[in-house]
Structure 1
Amino acid sequence: SDTMEYNGKYMMENNFEYTKNVLHFCLDRKIQMMYASSASTYGSGAHGFREEPACEEALNVYAFSKLFFDNYLRRLLPQAQSQVVGLRYFNVYGPQENHKGKMASMIYQMYNQWKAEHKVRLFGEYAGYGPGEHTRDFVYVKDVVKVNFYFWEHPEISGIFNCGTGHAHQFNTLAKAVLNHFGSGELEYVPFPEVLKGKYQSFTEADDANLLAAGYDGGFTPIEEAAEEYCQLLDKTGGYYVYEG
């Protein structure tokens, strides 16, 4: 899941060959399969965020590996006799991401920055966007789970679907949610990293038309509500969801 991994052989072995092996195992045994595709397959987003080749481009090795598998699946789907669903996750955040290190969500990172320094940091201006104004379709992991369960409960549906709210928000919005949670602190902007230039998505926003057409009607949690709920959980358990049923 490291979007900054540059070893193409390693990435293809893990994100393409391994997933292909799982796919054929499932198809041979008619087992339902859901896998993680990625919004990174849309690259700059200049052509939109619809699940179709005209919108797709890969800006890094990670995105290429995900798109390569999606296209492999597309060739096999007409013959598939069991469900296969690829979910193009947009910017997922929420409980149980502590193990992800630098790939954890920005809200998790900003929360821990505030705990350490009473400030949060965002990238400065880049590609025509002002400081902190780069946008993402941030989707709460609890909503992602609902989408997964929907498809699991409808094994007759196969395909590649966006999994995002359909609404883009600035990183500034998340930063302010964290600062509001604590009631104090500073928002600091740092120069945009050279290593990310030309490989960075400045804007993402899921086109949910196909997801809704497939029948999903579970909705998505408003970002301010979800951010506060997550911050409260970080206060209480450090970010782990504890089942109390």
Structure 2
Amino acid sequence: MIVVTGAAGFIPSCLVGRLNQDNFNDIVVVDNFSIAKKENNLKGKKIKEFVDRENFFDWLDAHYEEVEFIFHLGARTDTTEFNKDVFDLLNLNYSKQVWNACCEYQIPLVYASSAATYGSGTLGYDDNEATIPLLKPLNPYGDSKNDFDIWALEQTAKPFFWAGLKFFNVYGPNEYHKGKMASVIYHTYNQIKEKGSMTLFRSHNPDYADGEQMRDFVYVKDVVEVCMFLMHHRKNSGIYNLGSGKARTFMALALNTFDAMGVAPDIDFMDTPLSIRDNYQYFTEANMSKLRSIGYQRPFYTLEEGVNDYVKNYLIPGKYY
């Protein structure tokens, strides 16, 4: 059996679908299944068992001998949430329990970290583990992910294989339930569909023109391919960046969305909300050489390719991955 936590969410549900494509059908999905808004993400997928996240460790104590791999991708991902206790509970302490169980039962583990750990990027975007304790995230979410990375690296007891993945700006099908935390592509599509135009955040940094803020946008189909690779690879434990390796502007993202929808561009700007303005990242770009160095060879979707696939094959027809 393969365990996927947070399984009804965006990236994990896509991973369940990708596992099914390779005939991995004994999937145990772990989540808070009382949240009905995510129910479509697992519809039609081959799943062996549904386990509530509150009961997961009791379940694992009883079934660990059958578990081949754990993808711990469940987390609170709201970067505008500032209650540290929420992140300590769901992102830090729960992850420590997963890690310790994988050590005790010798189960290989892939877990979700985040590019939010890099903060303003003053130390760059290299996944060099020596610099991780020096990073200064800009919000409690980033802190929780970095705190766990630091804790994991400090442990003398480790799973025989483990990898932490620093997800950059992931976009793609199955993110519809994320509300304001869904990708700008998703919001762009819906704004264009509703009113034929799109509003981006204005730049409050003199080094960047409006719409020229840059992110490393990575398509979810690339994310799940890396997860599959690591499940089979099971060597070279450590923490890895997972982006496209190429920063692109929000303007390029919006223009590609208009193009995929066959609509003439109409873009306006609004002030970045004060609540996030001081902690806003103007540039992120993953150095992907570390993952490449252990043998991952697949090319990543370009922004043009990813947006085109997402819009035409999922958003317009209303399909899930």
Q: Distance in 1 between matches of 2:159 and 2:173?
A: 35
Residues 1:85 and 2:163 are matched in the alignment: yes
Number of the residue aligned with 2:5 = none
Instruction: Give structure 1 regions of 4+ aligned residues with deviation exceeding 6 angstroms.
Output: none
Q: Distance in 2 between matches of 1:177 and 1:234?
A: 15
Q: Distance in 2 between matches of 1:64 and 1:81?
A: 23
Number of the residue aligned with 1:207 = 287
Q: Distance in 1 between matches of 2:86 and 2:315?
A: 37
1:231 equivalent among 311, 314, 318: 311
Deviations 1:156-205 (A, max 9, x none): 23110000111100000010011112322411111122111221111000
Please state whether the residue corresponding to 1:180 is helix, strand or coil: helix
Number of the residue aligned with 2:176 = 98
Is the 2:191–2:198 Cα contact (8 Å) retained in structure 1?
Answer: yes
Q: Distance in 2 between matches of 1:25 and 1:138?
A: 33
Q: Could you tell me how far 1:153 is from its partner in structure 2?
A: 0.6
Q: 1:239 to 1:168 in 2, by over 3 A?
A: farther
Q: Distance in 2 between matches of 1:117 and 1:100?
A: 21
Number of the residue aligned with 1:116 = 194
Please state whether the residue corresponding to 2:180 is helix, strand or coil: helix
Is the 1:88–1:161 Cα contact (8 Å) retained in structure 2?
Answer: yes
Q: Distance in 1 between matches of 2:78 and 2:318?
A: 22
Deviations 1:69-102 (A, max 9, x none): 00000012x5424211100000000111111111
Is the 1:233–1:240 Cα contact (8 Å) retained in structure 2?
Answer: no
TM-score (norm 1): 0.94
The worse-fitting range, judged by mean Cα deviation, of 216-225 and 228-237 is: 228-237
Number of the residue aligned with 1:71 = 150
Q: Could you tell me how far 1:236 is from its partner in structure 2?
A: 4.2
2:100 equivalent among 24, 28, 35: 24
Query: Which residue type is aligned with residue 201 of structure 2?
Result: F
Number of the residue aligned with 1:217 = 297
Q: 1:236 to 1:178 in 2, by over 3 A?
A: closer
Please state whether the residue corresponding to 1:189 is helix, strand or coil: strand
Deviations 1:2-29 (A, max 9, x none): 1111101111111100111111111111
Q: Could you tell me how far 1:226 is from its partner in structure 2?
A: 1.1
1:46 equivalent among 113, 119, 122: 122
Structure of higher RCO (CA pairs closer than 8 Å, 6+ residues apart): 1
Is the 1:151–1:157 Cα contact (8 Å) retained in structure 2?
Answer: no
Query: Which residue type is aligned with residue 85 of structure 2?
Result: K
Q: Could you tell me how far 1:64 is from its partner in structure 2?
A: 0.3
Is the 1:168–1:205 Cα contact (8 Å) retained in structure 2?
Answer: yes
Please state whether the residue corresponding to 1:153 is helix, strand or coil: helix
Is the 1:97–1:239 Cα contact (8 Å) retained in structure 2?
Answer: no
**Identity in percent:** 39
Q: Could you tell me how far 1:239 is from its partner in structure 2?
A: 4.7
Is the 1:230–1:239 Cα contact (8 Å) retained in structure 2?
Answer: no
Number of the residue aligned with 2:243 = 164
Q: 1:41 to 1:199 in 2, by over 3 A?
A: same
Number of the residue aligned with 1:155 = 234
* Unmatched segments (≥5 aa) in structure 2: 1-76
How many pairs were matched up?
Answer: 240
Q: Distance in 2 between matches of 1:149 and 1:178?
A: 28
Q: Distance in 2 between matches of 1:30 and 1:80?
A: 9
Residues 1:7 and 2:86 are matched in the alignment: no
Query: Which residue type is aligned with residue 108 of structure 1?
Result: Y
Q: Distance in 2 between matches of 1:48 and 1:187?
A: 31
Is the 1:98–1:239 Cα contact (8 Å) retained in structure 2?
Answer: no
Number of the residue aligned with 1:191 = 271
Q: Distance in 2 between matches of 1:153 and 1:83?
A: 11
